[in-house]
Structure 1
Amino acid sequence: MDVILALKKTMIAISCLTMFACSNGPEEGRGGMAEQYTNSEFAPVMPDEPLGPEHGLRFDWKLAKLHLDTLVDQGAKWCFPAAVAQAEEKQNRIARELAGDLWIDAANDIVIQRKRLNDLELKLNYVLSQARCVPPRNRSTLESQLAVVKQIFDLLNVDNQFAFNSSEVNPKYMGHLAQAANLMKTYPAIELQVTGHADATGTEEYNERLALERAKQVKRYLMIFGLEEARISTLSLGSSLPLYDGDTPGIMLTNRRVSIEVIADEAELETAMRDSL
């Protein structure tokens, strides 16, 4: 047992060191070669393979996968299907990043995934103290719910970059905002959390303000397109959590963005889905 604990501490320490490693950076699109990887199974250490920093990240990925699998086994998929679907997508993205040797990108996404799973565990524990999470009677309704959530998530997390030192929403992303807002009008149980980001240029304080202004601009347009203000929350991470590490123009552009989480009240969403059929 002591050996296992020591190994775990060693792996976690190594993964922390990789936060200062260099990334290969993405090709134009959504992550370059790492996005082409579909296999999501990793062993923390391969036989006869030298121990390197990537093993710490693989170990952390495996721990996150075990955490997610445990939550699913406890019923999270039935009480919080939207949250589980997004967590699974993030887990697969990290796997593709690891396969593409994008260590810093994987490390950043693991930080996000840990917080997401911890929040999901807290919500699940509360629900399980009051009731049970069981499969819905109508599985097709559940699949329809997840399809709607995924469609909104995909719309709002593509073409979401900003020009240098600007909070103006680009026209292509504005079109995505209009489509998502129109879709969400049918499902009032869905809410959004908009997080603003900045590149590494500028001071920490300035980047914090600029990133928040980007999030607020996105919220402003969603409201113009018909969403109620109460359904959209905003926050800023400044330049503290870049999507990719590096200082090339393409990477800096990618880091000037908003990221959007789709938050769904599962019971209300199921009712709305039935009413729309």
Structure 2
Amino acid sequence: MRSYVIVAVIILLGGCSSWPEHGKGGLAEKYQNYPLEDELYDSNYAQPEDVVTSEFEHLVLKLELLKSQDIKACMPAQLLKAQIYENRIRRLISAQMWQDAEHDLLLHYHALNQLTNHFDTVRQLTDCASVSITKPALETIKKQLSDLLNSDNQFAFNAFEITPKYAVRVAQAADLIKQLESVNILLVGHTDRVGTTNSNYELALKRAETVKQWLVIYGVPKVSITTLTQGSLKPYSETTPNDSSRHSDRRVEAIILDANNQNPQDKKEKALVKWTKIIAGKKE
């Protein structure tokens, strides 16, 4: 009799159970929201391939900067070695061998830093190379700096901490700024149009100050950076506000100024240089 009862209970439970399809975990996976939908992935984190490509482009520009400073006249063998390694990484990226490219990229990064420091020492002790960067090279670097510091996905809603993706861009920008002698940076904080005017002014200034702090941490002189706030007065887009446009509104606008240019032609640059001098005077 007991055996009949056990069989009946098993049949009853089996008939009421919902067995998951092969490869799925039923209610447990549904509870954990598995598998993740595309929109649930954090877009602030770049894919490894994007990180490798971005860092490689940064190191290419860094080597071009050394070449524009006439490193070939002082250290031709070291320059050739760096160029060979750069071409090797370029081939690995073209072949989509991401792990090998990432490994070699790390070695190339440290080698270029050592080469830069060595070159600075040689230039101080000898006159083998020209001191100033050529104007075309300077314009290229300024554009790259602007692209890095003005990239999207900088801040989350109502936050002034930079996102991990933007932190990488700031570090790359600082690496280039440290090699320039005549560049000042104006950081203008912005917010979306949610919130009060006063709170947005304060939040925008905190965002600009945060970017400044990170640049200083990475070695950029504090005196070459000025921060301003415009709150929500200048949205990135004039279209009807939506989630996408608000995300772009939460930003710090970086304007690269030539400190040696006493007569800037661009009206916007002229006004910003004036602002920079006024604020610097007040700080003093």
**Short-chain TM bin:** 0.3 to 0.5
Return the index of the structure with the highest Cα Rg.
2
Between 1 and 2, higher relative CO (CA 8 Å, sep ≥ 6) is seen in 1
TM-score, normalised on structure 2?
0.44
TM-score, normalised on structure 1?
0.45
